[in-house]
Every structure is written in C-alpha cells, then in structure tokens.
Amino acid sequence: MTGKLDDEIIGVFATFSQRDPSELSLDTEIRDVGIHSLELTEIIMELEERYGIAIEIDTVDAWSSLVRIRDVVAAVDELLAAKTTA
C-alpha cells in the first residue's frame, strides 16, 4: 500500500501548501513548502480521519520527528499496519 499511500499523502500536502503534487516528493521538507505547526496539525487531523488512525503528536519529540513528508508517510503506514494486525 505504500506507493498509493505515498501519493495520497503527497496529495494532502500539495493541497495544504497550494502546490502541484509533482513539485513534492517524499524527501520534501515540510517547512520548505510553507507548512508550519497549525497547517501540520490540520494535515494530521485529515490523515487521522481519512485512515481511521490516531497519530500521537503531543510531545516535542513527536513534532520534531516529522521533518519530511516521508516521516509522515512512515508514521501513517506503521499505524495502518498495526491496525490491520489488531
């Protein structure tokens, strides 16, 4: 599912940053596309609702670990895998 998940999450970041998805990649740094804490919170909420997961981002370490789009994809992918095995 990761290829599809990659594209879907890049699409969400593209929407929030008002950029074309082709301008973004997994290695794009979130802050480089103008996404800051408020927008990132909205993105996280969107992904939680879309995939029926809960992304724990209530600590400074959790926020600081989300540097690139790849980091968000990995977090969602991990939560979806755990949800599937539960």
Helix axis angle for 37-51 and 2-17, nearest 10°, is 140
pLDDT exceeds 70 at position 1:
no
Confidence of residue 61 (pLDDT cuts 50, 70, 90): low
Q: Is 60 helix (H, G, I), strand (E, B) or coil?
A: helix
Alpha-carbon distance of 76 to 72, in angstroms, equals 6
Domain region containing 78: 2-85
How many C-beta atoms lie closer than 10 Å to residue 3's C-beta?
7
pLDDT per residue as tens digits for the range 14-42: 999 999 999 999 999 999 999 988 899 89
State the total domains in the chain.
1
Q: What is the mean pLDDT of the chain?
A: 90
Q: pTM for the complete prediction?
A: 0.89
Alpha-carbon distance of 50 to 60, in angstroms, equals 24
